[in-house]
């Protein structure tokens, strides 16, 4: 397991919540299970997230998709696989008092993700890094990749969606619900 290092207040609160829950397990035998999903994406995702940002800009007709830093990598899990992962952990009695990651054990850079979405949507656009969208250097996590070995070994969970399948379903949903998004606005 990777050491717990909080590079942002968001990360610090997640670590604190996990540790508080584990302390209740250790002190009072409360049957706690810690689940750490990695970068869940799919229909109904916040406009602040990178995937809807890319897709909605394209659907709105942009010829240039504007993003932040293109080099960080993420391990992306489709929402239906994440939900099934939570259920699998719930049913696994031997995971009480443990931390379990849900993810694909695959990583893709933001730039390569954007290029993949462009290909899947059959459009021609340029991808540009825009300085106002780049996270502060000290809070950016350059690489996130899920070690899902425990999940695979101790549950029956197996992902059902490839990145391409999940992105296609996400594009279809966003296309049908563009009225919920404002791609011309940058939301921090």
Give the pLDDT confidence score for residue 1 in this predicted structure. 60
Confidence of residue 128 (pLDDT cuts 50, 70, 90): very high
Three-state secondary structure call for residue 74: strand
Percentage of the chain beyond pLDDT 70 is 94
Model confidence at 187: pLDDT above 80: no
Distance of alpha carbon 108 from its chain centroid, rounded? Answer: 11
User: Which residues, in sequence order, are CB contacts of 122 under 8 Å at separation 6+?
Assistant: none
pLDDT in tens, 36-81: 999 999 999 998 899 999 999 999 999 999 998 999 999 999 999 9
Tell which wins on pLDDT, 13 or 135: 13
pLDDT interval class at 117 (50, 70, 90): very high
Contact 66, 133 (CB under 8 A): yes
Helical H runs in the chain? 9-28, 50-59, 79-91, 110-120, 149-154, 163-176
pTM over 0.75: yes
pLDDT score recorded for residue 10: 85
Q: What is the pLDDT of residues 138-165, one digit of tens each?
A: 767 888 999 999 999 999 999 999 999 9
User: Which residue ranges make up each domain of the chain?
Assistant: 35-180
To which residue do tokens 């399948």 refer?
Answer: 165
Q: Which CATH architecture has domain 35-180?
A: 3-Layer(aba) Sandwich (3.40)
Rounded Cα–Cα distance for residues 126 and 99 (Å): 40
């Amino acid at each position: 397991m990777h050491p717990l290092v909080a590079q942002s207040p968001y990360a610090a609160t997640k670590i604190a919540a996990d540790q508080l829950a584990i302390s209740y397990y250790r002190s009072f035998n409360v049957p706690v299970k810690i689940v750490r999903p990695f970068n869940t994406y799919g229909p109904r995702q916040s406009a602040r997230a990178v995937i809807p940002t890319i897709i909605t800009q394209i659907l709105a007709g942009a010829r240039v998709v504007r993003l932040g830093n293109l080099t960080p990598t993420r391990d992306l899990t489709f929402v239906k696989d994440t939900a099934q992962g939570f259920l699998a952990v719930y049913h696994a009695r031997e995971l009480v008092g443990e931390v379990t990651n849900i993810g694909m054990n695959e990583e893709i850079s933001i730039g390569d993700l954007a290029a993949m979405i462009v290909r899947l949507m059959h459009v021609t656009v340029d991808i540009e890094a825009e300085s106002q969208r780049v996270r502060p250097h000290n809070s950016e996590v350059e690489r996130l990749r899920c070690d899902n070995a425990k999940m695979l070994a101790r549950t029956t969970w197996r992902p059902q969606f490839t990145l391409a399948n999940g992105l296609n379903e996400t594009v279809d949903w966003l296309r049908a619900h563009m009225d919920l998004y404002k791609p011309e606005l940058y939301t921090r």
